[in-house]
Structure 1
Amino acid sequence: MTAPATPSILLHRGDLADDVVFHGSIAVDTEAMGLNPHRDRLCLVQISAGDGSAHLVQILPGTPSPNLARLMADPSITKLMHFARFDVAILQHSLGVTVAPVICTKIASKLVRTFTERHGLAQLCRELLGVDLSKQQQTSDWGAPELTPEQKAYAASDVLHLHALWTKLEVLLHREGRRDLAQACYDFLPTRARLDLLGYEDPDIFAHRA
């Protein structure tokens, strides 16, 4: 058996390098100091073109990231995410752009894998791709000035498999006749993120209660 290739991980401090160009679709993930975009700053944005390499953009406090912002707002680039509701919200809050178009593998899984409640990225990669992801660094300090090799490897792993995962899930969406429904959910995500940032996560304006 051939050993899997070691992924190429490139770290960019402050912003994506000027000479990095993407086409078509990219996998995107974020790491922050916590789960409250108003309180917890964005620390890292991971990007992969699905080619076995990952670009890690370390966000520096007080330093703009115009190249990254343009990429996230580029309507010609589809952003593949897992639990895009959070990633879109913190990117929009931190970069001041509307992040679109977006595809969320977690939403796809919930729409078609109704036989399970296991929709986490690690579970999906294991069950659909036969890939085991380590979550050991998930709660580490992403605001540290220097990231450890373990943090970089963990961050990269969250985007390296999203293209393959979406390929599997899109087949299931078509099979179950829910691809159009999924797209409607994806198109709504930037607005859902704006509602969350305005505090409409609770109370949920879509809930039936006084």
Structure 2
Amino acid sequence: MAVHLHEEDLPEGVLAPGPVAVDTETMGLVTHRDRLCVVQISDGGSDEHLVRFRVDSDFAAPNLKSVLADPQRVKLFHFARFDLAAIEYYLGVMATPVFCTKIASKLVRTYTDRHGLKELVRELLGKEISKQQQSSDWGAAELTEPQCEYAASDVRYLHGLQAILSERLSREGRTATAQACFDFLPTRARLDIAGWADRDIFSHE
């Protein structure tokens, strides 16, 4: 298992065909204000790839964009809504089609209100991941080893989670509902970018 750190773009040909797990690290939670710093990606094999963007980046990244925009590759996220917005706002591509493990968890793990990645990995895969670096400075001139390991762990287990959650969605007859939610995520992300992040436009108010 190896974590590879790249500057400004993903090297060509480092990912196997098929679904890819994707996550982002930003300077904060406000997409317009808090720039994209890192995109981490994994094909489900033994390696994770981190693409770091400098403060003055033009976010060209043609190889990374090609993978993210590939309609033949499912992109696996945990809380895809945020990552899709960051990726489109800074990289200019919508990373679809999507499978979101957080949405899938909420649809099938109705016996709990704990749907964070750490809880999912612990319950479904029997692994422990650390969230200690979650609030660290991702815009620093150099990323630390703990930061790189944290970023890698956010994509390392998504393929395994997808397999289990897909089986449970099928078992509970909720696959179509989940897919409809996944299909709506690009619109939800664009609503966030456009200023409706805190407003439920489907509510009566």
Please report the TM-score for the alignment, with normalisation by the length of structure 1: 0.94
Q: Number of paired residues?
A: 203
Matched, 1:39 2:57: no
Q: 2:51 aligns with which of 57, 74, 84?
A: 57
Aligned residue number for residue 27 of structure 1: 21
Give, in whole Å, the separation in 1 of the partners of 2:202 and 2:17: 36
Aligned residue number for residue 136 of structure 2: 140
Q: CA deviation at 1:62?
A: 2.5
Give, in whole Å, the separation in 2 of the partners of 1:99 and 1:89: 9
Unmatched tracts of structure 2, length 5 or more: none
Give, in whole Å, the separation in 1 of the partners of 2:177 and 2:44: 25
Aligned residue number for residue 151 of structure 2: 155
- Per-residue CA deviation, residues 60-79 of structure 1 (Å, 9 max, x unaligned), is 23232121112111101110
- Over the matched positions of the two proteins, sequence identity in percent amounts to 59
**Cα RMSD (Å) of the superposition?**
1.0
Q: Which amino acid aligns with 2:116?
A: G
The SS at the match of 1:199 is helix
Give, in whole Å, the separation in 1 of the partners of 2:57 and 2:116: 33
Unmatched tracts of structure 1, length 5 or more: 1-6
Aligned structure 1 segments of 4 or more residues deviating by more than 3 angstroms: none
Equivalent residues of 1:8, 1:54 under 8 A apart: yes
Aligned residue number for residue 179 of structure 1: 175
Q: Which amino acid aligns with 2:21?
A: A
Q: CA deviation at 1:145?
A: 1.6
Equivalent residues of 2:15, 2:43 under 8 A apart: no
Give, in whole Å, the separation in 2 of the partners of 1:17 and 1:51: 16
Give, in whole Å, the separation in 1 of the partners of 2:160 and 2:74: 15
Aligned residue number for residue 92 of structure 1: 88
Aligned residue number for residue 120 of structure 2: 124
Equivalent residues of 1:59, 1:65 under 8 A apart: no
Q: CA deviation at 1:151?
A: 0.6
Please report the TM-score for the alignment, with normalisation by the length of structure 2: 0.96
